[in-house]
């Protein structure tokens, strides 16, 4: 069974789920909950990286996807969903020399934990993306080691599921290094890049999960 990795990042906010907006400081990054005020750098990140890079692995996007007004509303919803225990949507920003980054600093990637289900499941789905010019530097692995640890310890999940297209070799290697285990292949799983695409199904489980958390969640 794959287990949680030791989290060496600094977490802001209490351990109780839903109280404040989290920020995780790693060696090179600030992994922050997406929130209002980030619409400009998020729109810029997607405008610069979607066509020819992220679009190969992403579902079709709607009108306005690359505009600040679109993300102004989506970022409000991201905070609401965090407090309602439905999702945790992080952005990745590089730390400045003094160890911090302004809230409106450039965004170089995202990692989203969505479809959170409690009860006997206590699981979610993970999706992530990084700027084309930041690939191959270990930044997404650094972010996910910290963010996965947050989801296991602070949000008290048992299982994180991540799926990728078979030809996405970067994702395959990344998830393997993070300890995700392959569980099968879903045929015609998502409509991406003009066709229904198969996806490899993987998951990481929390070896430190306390069954008492199921009762305390009240769901």
pLDDT on residue 7: 37
Judge whether residue 17 has pLDDT over 80.
no
CA 172/CA 160 separation, integer angstroms:
15
pLDDT at 178: 98
| pLDDT, tens digit, 9 for 90 and up, residues 104-132 | 789 999 999 999 999 999 999 999 999 99
151-175 tens-digit pLDDT: 999 999 999 999 999 999 999 999 9
For residue 13, name the pLDDT band (cuts at 50, 70, 90).
very low
Q: How far apart are CA 150 and CA 93, in angstroms?
A: 17
- Look at residue 4 and tell me whether its pLDDT is greater than 90: no
User: Per-residue pLDDT for 137 more than 50?
Assistant: yes
For the chain, the straight-line distance linking the first and the last C-alpha, in angstroms and rounded, comes to 25
Q: Give the closest residue to 6 by CA, choosing from 218, 178, 200.
A: 178
Q: How far apart are CA 131 and CA 172, in angstroms?
A: 18
CA 69 to CA 50: how far, in whole Å? 18
- pTM summary value: 0.88
- The answer to whether 85 touches 116, Cβ cutoff 8 Å, is yes
Structure tokens at 127: 């999706």
CB 24 within 8 A of CB 198: no
Question: With 0-12 CB in 10 A as exposed, 13-18 as middle and 19+ as buried, what is 40?
Answer: middle
Confidence band of 96 (pLDDT split at 50, 70, 90):
confident
Q: Under 8 Å CB-to-CB from 186, ≥6 apart: which residues?
A: 163, 198, 199, 201
Mention every residue, 6+ apart, whose C-beta is less than 8 A from residue 208. 3, 4, 152, 153
- What is residue 169's predicted lDDT score, i.e. its pLDDT? 96
Backbone angles phi, psi at 92, to 5 degrees: -110, 125
Report pLDDT for 217: 57
Question: What average pLDDT does range 2-24 have in this prediction?
Answer: 48
Task: Judge: domain 10-217, CATH 3.40.630.30.
Answer: yes
CA distances from 98 to 27, 90, 188 (A): 12, 22, 47
pLDDT, residue 203, reads 98
Alpha-carbon distance of 216 to 92, in angstroms, equals: 31
Angle among Cα 202, 4, 124 to the nearest 5 degrees reads 50
Cα–Cα distance between 19 and 33 in angstroms, integer? 13
* Residue 216 confidence (pLDDT): 62
Q: What is the pLDDT of residue 62?
A: 86
């Amino acid at each position: 069974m794959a287990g949680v990795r030791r989290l060496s990042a600094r977490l802001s906010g209490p351990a109780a789920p839903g109280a404040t907006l989290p920020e995780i400081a790693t060696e090179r990054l600030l992994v922050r909950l997406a929130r209002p005020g980030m619409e400009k750098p998020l729109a810029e990140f997607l405008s610069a990286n979607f066509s020819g890079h992220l679009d190969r692995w992403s579902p079709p996007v709607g009108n306005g996807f690359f505009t600040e007004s679109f993300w102004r509303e989506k970022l409000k919803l991201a905070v609401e969903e965090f407090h309602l225990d439905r999702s945790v949507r992080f952005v990745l920003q590089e730390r400045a020399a003094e160890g911090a980054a302004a809230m409106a600093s450039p965004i170089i990637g995202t990692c989203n934990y969505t479809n959170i289900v409690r009860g006997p499941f206590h699981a979610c789905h993970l999706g992530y993306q990084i700027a084309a010019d930041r690939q191959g530097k270990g930044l997404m692995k650094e972010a996910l080691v910290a963010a996965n640890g947050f989801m296991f310890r602070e949000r008290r999940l048992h299982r994180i599921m991540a799926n990728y297209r078979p030809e996405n070799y970067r994702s395959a290697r990344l998830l393997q290094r993070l300890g995700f285990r392959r569980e099968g292949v879903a045929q015609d799983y998502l409509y991406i890049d003009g066709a229904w695409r198969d996806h490899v199904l993987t998951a990481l489980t929390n070896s430190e999960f306390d069954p008492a958390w199921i009762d305390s969640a009240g769901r």
